[in-house]
């Protein structure tokens, strides 16, 4: 497939048997529905190879399609089925049609719901990351875990000092956790037990900082080893406010950029698309949906704050929306609009495969 080709949509008419699977750590509950509407329920231990063997014996020569909900079992079942030549979809649980008023949930019912929806073409697969894209996503998630723990321990130290009426030995700036501040916290005159508590948290902060750097180096190594990922990161880095960390996270979130079909699709990945309730001649749009990847949305908003300092076009967008929203939520609305504009630029550079050229107005 070249860059201009788009993934083919799922065609139910091309298959003979539709299989919905409810997976757990120990078992797989499968529901098979054929063209005649015959239903067969099977439950077996979680073993992707056993699923393939069973289907090959039970439906020889049949075109079988599979679907299961994304969850903690990951993509091992998907990998094994597609490797064996079967079509498999991994579906977002929130997008599976549900019967209203149905308060009974079992593995069999979940499997039947998936198989019926698959047969009717009512569900679509999430984008499955493959190869280095999957590894990059795992590394990004690991880095985010360490960063979150790091921020949490910094907050715990500040809360502890506030609780005991001790002033934090630093200014209220972005550099407040400098080496001098860390040293001052180590030598802070306080009760023995409070000092022990602080020292333990400082040890964790030092450890987590080291881990963040180690993971970041490994992410750079992975990206440099993949020409396509490295090229796309370089393209994204030409956009104001976006550096290596955010660029690599965008690529990890999207995966193969050939799946991008329109800008609204990318905005949906980041949860930056507006809610809409329109009817007749009335068009009503509200706040953003907040669907998609919340970490990626947060990163883009952080990038938007950095971008308006150097990009006059984005600064003008921010100012225009801010002047129309004088309330307390005005700055938030304005910066979200700038983040949406960044998503538009990301879509442009990835689909057109050319760097962004900064235009000052």
Together in a domain, 147 and 245 = no
Angstrom CA distances, 55 to 24, 35, 60, 77, 279, stand at 19, 16, 7, 13, 47
What's 89's domain CATH number?
3.30.420.40
Together in a domain, 44 and 99 = yes
101 assigned to some structural domain? yes
8 Å CB contact between 140 and 252: yes
Mind giving me the DSSP string for 101-116? T-----HHHHHHHHHH
Together in a domain, 166 and 246 = no
Looking at residue 173, its pLDDT comes to 56
357 assigned to some structural domain? no
19 assigned to some structural domain? yes
Looking at residue 174, its pLDDT comes to 52
Instruction: Copy the structure tokens of residue 33.
Output: 């529905």
Together in a domain, 170 and 141 = yes
Together in a domain, 215 and 273 = no
73 assigned to some structural domain? yes
Pairing relation of β-strands 285-288 and 39-45?
unpaired
Nearest to 205 by CA among 179, 226, 175: 179
Nearest to 198 by CA among 163, 156, 151, 152: 156
With both helix axes pointing from N to C terminus, report the angle between 179-186 and 192-224 in degrees, rounded to the nearest 10: 150
Looking at residue 277, its pLDDT comes to 61
| Residue finishing a domain among 54, 84, 119 | 119
Together in a domain, 216 and 253 = no
Residues of the chain with pLDDT under 70: 1-9, 171-175, 274-290, 360-361
3 assigned to some structural domain? no
| Residue finishing a domain among 170, 201, 225 | 225
Work out the burial of residue 15: count CB atoms within 10 Å of its CB; fewer than 13 is exposed, 13-18 middle, 19 or more buried: buried
Backbone angles phi and psi of 183, in degrees to 5: -65, -40
Together in a domain, 211 and 293 = no
205 assigned to some structural domain? yes
Together in a domain, 94 and 137 = no
Together in a domain, 218 and 270 = no
| Residue finishing a domain among 195, 225, 255 | 225
Whole-angstrom Cα distance, residue 118 to residue 17?
Answer: 10
Together in a domain, 165 and 190 = yes
2 assigned to some structural domain? no
Together in a domain, 81 and 148 = no
4 assigned to some structural domain? no
Angstrom CA distances, 168 to 117, 160, 198, 203, 235, stand at 57, 10, 12, 18, 41
345 lies in which domain range?
237-352
For the chain, how many structural domains are there in total? 3
């Amino acid at each position: 497939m070249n860059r201009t080709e788009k993934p083919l949509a799922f065609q139910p008419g091309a298959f003979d048997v539709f299989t919905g699977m409810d997976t757990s750590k120990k078992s797989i509950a499968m529901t098979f529905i054929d063209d005649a509407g015959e239903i067969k329920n099977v439950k077996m231990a979680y073993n992707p190879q056993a699923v393939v063997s069973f289907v090959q014996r039970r439906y020889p020569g049949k075109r079988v399609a599979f679907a299961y909900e994304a969850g903690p079992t990951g993509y091992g079942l998907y990998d094994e089925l597609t490797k064996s030549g079967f079509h498999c979809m991994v579906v977002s649980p929130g997008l599976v049609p549900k019967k209203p008023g149905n308060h009974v949930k079992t593995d069999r019912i979940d499997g039947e719901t998936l198989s019926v929806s698959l047969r009717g073409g009512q569900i679509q697969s999430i984008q499955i990351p493959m190869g280095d894209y999957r590894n990059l996503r795992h590394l990004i998630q690991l880095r985010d875990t360490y960063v979150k723990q790091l921020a949490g321990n910094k907050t715990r130290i500040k809360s502890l000092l506030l609780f005991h009426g001790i002033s934090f030995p630093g200014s209220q700036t972005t550099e407040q956790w400098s080496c001098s501040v860390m040293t001052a916290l180590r030598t802070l005159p306080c009760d023995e037990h409070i000092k022990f508590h602080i020292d333990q948290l400082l040890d964790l902060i030092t450890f987590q900082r080291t881990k963040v750097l180690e993971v970041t180096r490994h992410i750079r190594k992975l990206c440099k080893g993949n020409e396509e990922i490295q090229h796309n990161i370089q393209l994204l880095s030409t956009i104001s406010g976006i550096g290596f960390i955010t660029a690599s996270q965008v690529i990890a979130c999207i995966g193969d950029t050939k799946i991008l079909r329109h800008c609204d699709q990318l905005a949906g990945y980041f949860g930056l698309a507006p809610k809409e309730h329109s009817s007749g001649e009335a068009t009503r749009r509200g706040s953003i949906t907040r669907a998609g990847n919340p970490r990626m949305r947060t990163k883009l908003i952080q990038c938007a704050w950095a971008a308006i300092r150097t990009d006059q076009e984005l600064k003008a967008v921010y100012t225009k929306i801010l002047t129309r929203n004088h309330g307390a939520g005005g700055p938030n609305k304005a910066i979200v609009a700038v983040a949406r504009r960044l998503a538009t630029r990301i879509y442009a550079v990835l689909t057109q495969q050319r760097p962004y050229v900064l235009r000052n107005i």
